[in-house]
Amino acid sequence: MILDGANIKHQTTLANTSTTTAALTVSQLLVFNSVKHARSVESTSVRHSRERETPLPLYLSLKIHAVTRSRGLIDTVFSLGMCVSYDRLLQLTVDIANGVCQRFNMEEVVCPPKLRKGLFTTGAVDNIDHNPSSATAKDSFHGTGISLMQHPSHTNGGLDRGVVVIGQDISSAKSVAPLPSVYTSVPPAAMKTNVFKY
């Protein structure tokens, strides 16, 4: 009604997709910025309740951070009441990373959360060399790239491992938990024979 007016004809017909999206955006921002009690006049900082965090302010902060990495831009949009603060964004990314590490510990394997269970998986490992002829370590880079590929079939699509759940016990953490020791301490391996059997 705010966007289209109080015309009963428009309310009985099917909603327009663009209007529905705009209405959802406005309603999420209203919920995000609403408070139980009026703020004092002296208060210059804006405080938002976590119970009223809607998907839009979280998505906007994550999107801006992914594209620009600009704290100033996030703080500007936050001051307009459209996204969460930069500090809340950092806390959210730490919570997500800790949730992934908890899954690694629970499953006792380190692999991307999007991989599916029960599928044949192959890996490819290669060196990454950027500007190796550079005389300074600042301009050159040497690393390792690892790619994992899964091979679903018509009869076996694999099992979804679900989304990473952010638990209440890790929401107060300010740093990322260390990876499991099985990932950080890789024992050496050697082949005892040079004859391969098929």
Q: Annotate 150-187 with DSSP letters as a single string.
A: E---SS---B---PPP--GGGTT--SPPPPPHHHH-PP
Q: What is the pLDDT of residue 167?
A: 59
pLDDT band at 68 (very low <50, low <70, confident <90, very high): very high
Taking only the tens place, the pLDDT of each residue in 10-51 is 555 555 555 678 888 888 888 888 877 776 666 566 677 777
Residue-averaged pLDDT of the chain: 80
179 has pLDDT over 60: yes
Q: Domain map of the chain by residue range?
A: 116-161
Q: What is the pLDDT of residue 170?
A: 47
Stretch 128-156: mean pLDDT, rounded? 82
Residues sharing a CB contact under 8 Å with residue 115, sequence separation 6 or more, in sequence order:
121, 148, 150, 161
pTM exceeding 0.85: no
